Chain A
Amino acid sequence: MLIKRIALLLVVSVGASATGLVLLLAGAFVLRAWWTTPFEVLGFGAAPEQPIAFPHTIHAGVDVWTYPDGSPKLDADGSEMSGLGLDCTFCHRNVDKGATAGVPPVEQCLFCHASVQGDELGEVAKLVEAWDTKEPVAWERVHRVPDHVRFVHEAHIRYFLAQGETPSGEPALVAADVCSTCHGDVAAMAEVNQVRSLKMGDCVDCHRDYNAPTDCTTCHY
């Protein structure tokens, strides 16, 4: 009897603690997702898959280009190729003029890719196809604030340019110097992912640090 009872107790307690653990984990997951970005599990928090695998590393970065397996890409003469180091505003033209940064139209990509044919991965071919079929490219959105939030890129860039310094202490001389404050080092990302929580607390903390308005109608209307 006693053994039976102990066994039952064991089963129940193991079961209960297992359930408790699952609940705890689930709770931690929800809380973490609520406060900042979700844990990178089950595809949550991962960089979304884009219709065209556009590598910011090649366009915006200055490092050596690598294939997904890590091997360096070589030029026709066998030398390693490095990134173009394009300024963010080269493509995201509206970022220092208005609310949204803007995604470049396909035509703008073709300015270069009409002659730059890309490589065997065939991603440029998708772009050319989009141009030929006049089908817009449906990019997956990475950074998105809820629709009751009005975020204006222009005002933030203008402010830090006037300050001459980004929050991380880097000099802010051109618009592109400011972007990494919220977006991280996009130039180093083969697939762009969100690095900051961009929750309201995140925004408000920064607004307080810089004595920016924290009135609700600054962002909500």
Chain B
Amino acid sequence: MVQNRIDHKWGMVIDIDRCTGCNACVVACQAENNIPLNTEDRFRQRRAIQWIHIERYWEGEFPDVKARFIPILCQHCENAPCEPVCPVYATYHNNQGLNVQVYNRCVGTRYCANNCPYQVRFFNFWEPVWPESLRNQLNPDVSIRSRGIMEKCSFNVQRLRRAERIVEGQQGGRISDEDLSMGNFLPACVQSCSTSALVFGDFNDPNSKVSRMKEEHLHEGGRGYKLLDFLGTEPNVIYLSKVDPYATDAGDGHA
């Protein structure tokens, strides 16, 4: 019996009207993906690594001041600017909608990071080090990236692979939203998000929540939009706009 492989298109919907900017996703991601400790020096050198991070934008002046939060992670673009510039094909788009970074191919040119308009690619300028005891926490399912390697959000492909193996391989049947959440297969950031601002799922499955949200919101006049859409990168991450009943200047938020 050759199992028919099920085509997935993994993607995310981020409702920034729900996001409170609490940073739970940031730390959850670091715990799951063996991200090196971001010491004070790394921040000073602007070389801290956060696969998902919260950007904060100011609007207005006191007292009518507003701060807006937006979680930014790899947008897993269908038409990714990072891919064609890699001389060694270390980054490419796979058939499941993931923009993949192959660590063992990467030679560290950093062209991809320079060409990424979302600035979500991070370079390992140093060998990652942990005190011996903290190494006990490291996730055995994720490679530790050595010095000279580019890294970025993987949509926790290690969990998706496990889900495919257990749900589709052993039990049979397509991975549903419920399988993802009950089996601890959701990306760590999605799982941790206390306001459920991050929703993850399969755009190829018409019953998934992300598909229904896309249907509901991503149209003219809807709340859905894609980040820097005009660049034509076709991200697999959809944002839902902030709702502000007292917006003075609806539509834009700049740094």
Chain A residues with CB under 8 Å of chain B are 146-148, 150, 152, 154-155, 158-159, 162-163, 210-211, 213, 215-218, 220-221
Contacts and interface: CB of A to CB of B under 8 A. Distances in A.
What 9 pairs across the A-B complex have the smallest Cβ distances? A148-B143, A162-B1, A148-B104, A221-B157, A216-B102, A215-B94, A217-B157, A217-B100, A221-B158
Contacts of A215: 94-96, 100
Interface residues of B, number: 25
Contacts of B95: 215
Interface of B: 1-3, 5, 92, 94-96, 98, 100, 102-105, 141-144, 154, 157-158, 161, 165, 169-170
Nearest to B102: A216
B39 to A, nearest CB: 24
Contact of B94 (A152, A162, A210, A216): A216
A171 to B, nearest CB: 15
A195 to B, nearest CB: 24
Contact of A216 (B92, B144, B169, B170): B92
B94 A217 contact: yes
Contacts of A211: 2
A147 B34 CA distance: 13
Nearest to B164: A155
Given A150-B158, A155-B165, A218-B161, 20 more contacts: A148-B103, A148-B104, A150-B141, A152-B165, A158-B169, A158-B170, A159-B3, A210-B2, A213-B5, A215-B100, A216-B92, A216-B100, A216-B105, A217-B157, A217-B161, A220-B102, A220-B103, A220-B143, A221-B142, A221-B143
B98 A217 contact: yes
Interface centre among A146, A152, A163, A221 (most CB of B within 10 A): A221
A217 B161 CA distance: 9
Contact of A154 (B98, B157, B165): B165
A173 B143 CA distance: 34
